[in-house]
Structure 1
């Protein structure tokens, strides 16, 4: 497991870093080949040596993400000429080697493009405006809260594990609905798993003076934004893959000679984005199951594009008959719709992943709950005299 992580997160970055540092040249694209070959080798030749399903899934996703990143920064984009830090007037190709190395490192470590000219400003949360140490203290406190919430979340996760173990036993309509809703806890697990290390890195980086608080907007947007499926995936959910997916979708539209700004262009990009996301998570599943058919990522992510298309048609129809403004009532209806949609579709993706976690380190109980159970069993909290 240690070797696989080292290959993905270190060796995999070296050729990409060099490709970003070298000056523009027709031969720069050749750097994509060693990255592609390395990732193919990592996926098919480096065995799973006992890592947990969650770790295997993360490694698989990282492998595909590395290929997409290399494709974007080496094949599709002349990065030194097209990508700029905000308020940076330098001519990067003409800059010194050390300046290009620093620039490349910043580009590689900014998945959401925060602080860059291509930053999706309307798609990520507001940037913190607090002072340095206020930010650090608030991040440490928030990190502690997230750790406790993550631990307590295991209680609901164990309910989901029990549901999956039970299978399709008839528990009635309400019971079935509640059972299916337990799968939504997986989304919270993803949020916790991505947010906690992000918070820790932000606190350390700002405390050391390496970055400023404004460079660390929240990883996830507000859940109040999620009153359509499109807004859930485009605003509430993390946007770390946004550029990687959209730049390839735009390339497909360009290859197909579809006019930009048209409904056809938008929908082609929509389906390309979710298909690539599905493939990314499919590679993660392959790392777990060692086959391409046991998981459900393809079904889940592709169907999200279908859901967005359906809701866009409904919104357009509602607008034509006079419902043009977003009201509190329409948002409430939207929340119910999004919750219902995710409750129905997420089972396809999370069900197989949950089964894979049975009996592994991922299948563990809440530490806080276990503490209270042991305390009660030992009558630690008993009242004397009763």
Structure 2
């Protein structure tokens, strides 16, 4: 009898998991809307509001029922998935108005037509499931070149597979470091340390640790997915591209976010910013006003996405610093552009080596000062065990551990 009860309980917890209650229904809705509805149709808008309703149900559970997905890093990252699915839907299917019959803009289709030539399923996969549009006419800027088009499948799987283990070990070593002294304080306001030098040192190490862990974790997911893809499509790796750019290009805030950091959010940020700035605010397509309006909108939307991640941990709205951190990045863009413009006006074009040294230092210091308000609140709610990248970290997404 106990075995039957355990199995019944497990089935119940699977069917109440975030994957079943939110992410899978959203995926089905967005794929149906992309494949079988036309731009501006009632059916498409109905699907969109249904997706928003599913996400708001999840938010209600987090905020009003004080029910986090779990205290794990992966669960936190998945917390914003429902929000970003709504953004992707709005961007591609409402803002841009893509549908099966009207997809290619003038001059982008090899045959000069607008209709997608593949199947409806292939169209939905290209338009919705591809965050960066790799290999498509709308591929976002800054995507790195493919890993190798001349490498054999076997050597690709071996060489990339050998990267997985050291990445995983290094990630978990960094988790051990950040939960040791002096980085595990429960409060991280300015002035907690005896000198500003010590303050900046701790903030710099914490920021470096966080971004490095995120870099390693995201690369692990991409590498694993690419290797698994080779089993089903032997040539898929030939066009597979890294998720991050070259760290050598990150010698300014703009280049850090635009050229180096991952591109998965870029299409949605650019698409919705164009919609808001040009179609709602009716700003012209040229000029500083529209330029920085897009920058601030993009970072505000990115802030909302990361607030959604924090909500999955049940971090109170008054404590999450995600929105302020990302808006400060937009302010950093303005400051950076202004200083560069003044320098060119009075001193001309700077020496490249000098510019890069100053640029790397500026970027590292600015991120170290501003990132604390985003990183530290989550550190107070994430457990050390939940921050490790293990199956127990991913498990709560598919099996409801809150029951």
TM-score range, shorter chain: 0.7 to 0.9
In the other structure, the counterpart of 2:378 is 353
> 1:201: Cα distance to partner?
0.5
Counting only pairs closer than 5 Å after superposition, residues 357-368 of structure 1 correspond to structure 2 as 357-358=382-383, 361-362=386-387
Q: What does the per-residue CA deviation read over 1:112-168, in whole Å, with 9 as the maximum and x for residues that have no partner? A: 110110112x41111122323332222111222211221222243224773424756
Given that residues 164 and 351 in structure 1 are in contact (C-alpha distance below 8 angstroms), is that contact kept between their aligned partners in structure 2? no
In the other structure, the counterpart of 1:82 is 103
Given that residues 58 and 284 in structure 1 are in contact (C-alpha distance below 8 angstroms), is that contact kept between their aligned partners in structure 2? yes
In the other structure, the counterpart of 2:195 is 172
Given that residues 29 and 47 in structure 2 are in contact (C-alpha distance below 8 angstroms), is that contact kept between their aligned partners in structure 1? yes
CA 1:163–1:171: 2 relative to 1, 3 Å:
farther
Task: Find the partner of 2:154 among 108, 133, 136.
Answer: 133
For structure 1, the 5+ residue unaligned runs are 366-386
In the other structure, the counterpart of 2:359 is 334
What is the CA–CA distance in structure 2 between the aligned matches of 1:270 and 1:296, rounded to whole Å? 19
What is the CA–CA distance in structure 1 between the aligned matches of 2:385 and 2:175, rounded to whole Å? 14
1:112 equivalenced with 2:132 (yes/no): yes
What is the CA–CA distance in structure 1 between the aligned matches of 2:111 and 2:389, rounded to whole Å? 52
In the other structure, the counterpart of 1:63 is 82
TM-score by length of 2: 0.82
> 1:91: Cα distance to partner?
5.7
CA 1:95–1:233: 2 relative to 1, 3 Å:
closer
CA 1:221–1:313: 2 relative to 1, 3 Å:
same
**What value does the CA root-mean-square deviation take over the aligned residues?**
2.6
In the other structure, the counterpart of 1:18 is 32
In the other structure, the counterpart of 2:395 is none
In the other structure, the counterpart of 2:241 is 217
- Paired residue secondary structure (1:124): coil
In the other structure, the counterpart of 1:100 is 120
Task: Find the partner of 1:300 among 295, 304, 325.
Answer: 325
Higher relative contact order (CA 8 A, sep 6+): 2
Q: What does the per-residue CA deviation read over 1:306-355, in whole Å, with 9 as the maximum and x for residues that have no partner? A: 00110000111111123325601110110000010011001110111111
Task: Find the partner of 2:170 among 144, 149, 168.
Answer: 149
What is the CA–CA distance in structure 1 between the aligned matches of 2:300 and 2:230, rounded to whole Å? 37
Given that residues 133 and 139 in structure 2 are in contact (C-alpha distance below 8 angstroms), is that contact kept between their aligned partners in structure 1? yes
Q: What does the per-residue CA deviation read over 1:202-257, in whole Å, with 9 as the maximum and x for residues that have no partner? A: 11112432652243211111111111001101011101000101111111111212
1:235 equivalenced with 2:259 (yes/no): yes
TM-score by length of 1: 0.85
In the other structure, the counterpart of 1:380 is none
CA 1:90–1:288: 2 relative to 1, 3 Å:
farther
Given that residues 160 and 182 in structure 1 are in contact (C-alpha distance below 8 angstroms), is that contact kept between their aligned partners in structure 2? no
In the other structure, the counterpart of 2:399 is none
CA 1:154–1:83: 2 relative to 1, 3 Å:
farther
> 1:33: Cα distance to partner?
1.7
What is the CA–CA distance in structure 1 between the aligned matches of 2:266 and 2:179, rounded to whole Å? 32
CA 1:326–1:141: 2 relative to 1, 3 Å:
farther
Counting only pairs closer than 5 Å after superposition, residues 194-209 of structure 1 correspond to structure 2 as 194-209=218-233
> 1:57: Cα distance to partner?
2.0
CA 1:360–1:37: 2 relative to 1, 3 Å:
same
For structure 2, the 5+ residue unaligned runs are 1-12, 391-403
Per mean C-alpha deviation after superposition, the further-off stretch among 197-206 and 34-43 is 34-43
Q: What does the per-residue CA deviation read over 1:166-222, in whole Å, with 9 as the maximum and x for residues that have no partner? A: 756534343322211122111111112211011011111124326522432111111
Given that residues 126 and 133 in structure 2 are in contact (C-alpha distance below 8 angstroms), is that contact kept between their aligned partners in structure 1? no
In the other structure, the counterpart of 1:376 is none
In the other structure, the counterpart of 1:377 is none
Given that residues 43 and 60 in structure 1 are in contact (C-alpha distance below 8 angstroms), is that contact kept between their aligned partners in structure 2? no
What is the CA–CA distance in structure 2 between the aligned matches of 1:72 and 1:52, rounded to whole Å? 31
Q: What does the per-residue CA deviation read over 1:83-106, in whole Å, with 9 as the maximum and x for residues that have no partner? A: 58x87649675768xx11122123
Given that residues 206 and 212 in structure 1 are in contact (C-alpha distance below 8 angstroms), is that contact kept between their aligned partners in structure 2? yes
Q: What does the per-residue CA deviation read over 1:275-296, in whole Å, with 9 as the maximum and x for residues that have no partner? A: 0001111121122125321111
